[in-house]
Structure 1
Amino acid sequence: MSKRAVLEVIALGVEDAVAAQAGGADRLELVTDMAADGLSPSAETFARIRAAVDISLRVMLRLADGFAAGDADHVARLVETAGRMRAAGAEEFVLGFLDTGGAVDLAAVERLVGELDGCPWTFHRAIDRAADRDALRKQLDGLPGLDAYLTAGSAAGVDDGLPVLLAEAARRGEPGYEPQIMVGGGLRLEHVPRLKAAGVEAFHIGGAARPGGWEAPVSQEAVREWRQVLDAR
């Protein structure tokens, strides 16, 4: 029997979280401020969502728009945010930082991962802006807890990135390619059959779960439609 595909939905608050779980989401990515592409929520928001649903929650560790970790003070604030989330009960995270040349900011990532102490985490769409995706994967290979890459294959979205996603899916299991590929960023239902056929097992939606736009809450019906498509043979 084939394994059920993972459906991760962006949640900004309790209403989103409850609707996403009811629609069949397996996991939530918790963020705030989608105008900045998703920043860390408050520990209080995390606690309210944790009390409302019983599916996995991945908490964003990102304090400013863009993909730079910032200076030493900013990195220290990120580490402090991670510690606060851990103290509130968070056990899964999302992060990813690049330097000015488009390489992974390994020093910042390693500091944060040290604070996470083995918790599972996703390296997010910073990979889609990396100068060399393969080099980034090799540099992160073996870091404790890294179990997924959230990627559209391209900074422009899945339409442009599909060839890259299919090529990387074919390399699953090679050094740097063990973590799960979770596809998100301009993902549409019509992309799913081809990605599933290539072995992709995880899908991430934000706007697609909100037919009314980002000002509207997650739609249980929209999430259910995705669940049905992902579960179709």
Structure 2
Amino acid sequence: MILEIAANSVASALAAQEGGAGRIELCTALELGGLTPSSAQITLAREQLTIPLYVLIRPRAGDFLYSDLECETMLRDIEACVRAGCDGVVLGVLDAGGQVDMPRCRSLISAAGDSGVTFHRAFDLTRDPLSALEDVIALGCERVLTSGAQASAIEGATLIRQLVELSAARIAVMPGAGVSARNIGELLAVTGAREFHASAKCQHPSAMQWQPPLLTDMQDGEWRSDVEQIRTIVAALGSAFEARSRASAV
């Protein structure tokens, strides 16, 4: 069982590691669904972390239909991640018809070389998730992150179960979106997944003493992955897995 944390800063990544996360997806702007972090953040995270580090490759918010210039940006970001010694990257490109854009994805994956590749939640916007899963497998991705084409993984759990069964261990299917200590046991039981994705964040109050009224909403404090939330999710996942293992052994 692995809990991956979407960390929106180096501080969040370190909090996730302290809380027992098994892997980091480093990004920025979680409120936009996540964007590619700066080279400095990537390098610093790689220096500080001892657990696997994957980096989100997404040049802008919005859909996953990208121009040639955006694809070149992503390719260069991937090359920078490889140079920094990251364990993998997280990417996804669709065509205008809602299919996985195989040529563009192949180009990006080629740039990743021997690094691992996760196909991100662009998957949830595909026209036919079952067909898209075969495309992602054909690309050679290690895993696909999905909410089961719903707003949250718990809502999409039935489809996620179908994807896990269809994958036949050819790829890891990782539920994400709204994953918490309260529902991770149910997600494990319903989907049969072995990897899970969460942000587990909380807001840290601003330390600014001077807060002009005009700028109050700009100084609400930083959102950061929370050590205790992560520990609670890891513990809940471990307990659910042990209970499932005992039941299987009976």
The alignment's TM-score, normalised by the length of structure 1, stands at 0.89
Matched, 1:32 2:28: yes
8 A contact 1:152–1:187 mirrored in 2: no
Cα offsets for 1:135-157 (capped at 9, x unmatched): 2122232324x111111102422
Match of 1:191 in 2: 183
Q: Kindly report which structure 2 residues correspond to 1:9-20, keeping only aligned pairs within 5 A, or say none.
A: 9-20=5-16
Q: Distance in 1 between matches of 2:92 and 2:233?
A: 26
Q: Distance in 2 between matches of 1:88 and 1:211?
A: 29
Please point out which of 38, 49, 56 is paired with 1:53. Answer: 49
Matched, 1:231 2:222: no
Q: Which runs of 5+ in 1 are unaligned?
A: none
Shift of 1:90: 1.8
Cα offsets for 1:111-132 (capped at 9, x unmatched): 1011011321110111111101
Shift of 1:69: 4.3
Q: Which runs of 4 or more aligned residues in structure 1 lie more than 3 Å from their structure 2 counterparts after TM superposition?
A: none
Match of 1:150 in 2: 145
Q: Distance in 2 between matches of 1:188 and 1:22?
A: 17
Task: Give the number of aligned pairs.
Answer: 223
Match of 1:200 in 2: 193
Shift of 1:28: 0.5
Match of 1:92 in 2: 88
Q: Distance in 1 between matches of 2:163 and 2:81?
A: 32
8 A contact 1:23–1:220 mirrored in 2: yes
Q: Relative CO higher for 1 or 2, CA cutoff 8 Å, sep ≥ 6?
A: 1
Matched, 1:107 2:103: yes
Q: Distance in 1 between matches of 2:87 and 2:165?
A: 30
Q: Which runs of 5+ in 2 are unaligned?
A: 205-220, 243-250
Q: Distance in 2 between matches of 1:211 and 1:35?
A: 13
Match of 1:221 in 2: 228
Evaluate the alpha carbon distance shift between residue 33 and residue 216 of structure 1 in structure 2; reply closer, same or farther with a 3 A threshold: closer
Cα offsets for 1:9-45 (capped at 9, x unmatched): 1112221111111110000000012232111111210
Q: Distance in 2 between matches of 1:168 and 1:140?
A: 12
Please point out which of 83, 102, 106 is paired with 2:79. Answer: 83
Match of 1:212 in 2: 203
Amino acid at match of 1:151: T
Shift of 1:217: 1.9
Q: Distance in 2 between matches of 1:203 and 1:47?
A: 25
Amino acid at match of 2:237: L
Cα offsets for 1:134-181 (capped at 9, x unmatched): 12122232324x1111111024222321111122223331xxx62111
User: Alignment RMSD, CA only?
Assistant: 1.8
Match of 1:172 in 2: 167
8 A contact 1:68–1:100 mirrored in 2: no
Identical residues among aligned pairs (%) = 28
The alignment's TM-score, normalised by the length of structure 2, stands at 0.83
Please point out which of 124, 127, 136 is paired with 1:140. Answer: 136
Max Rg structure = 2
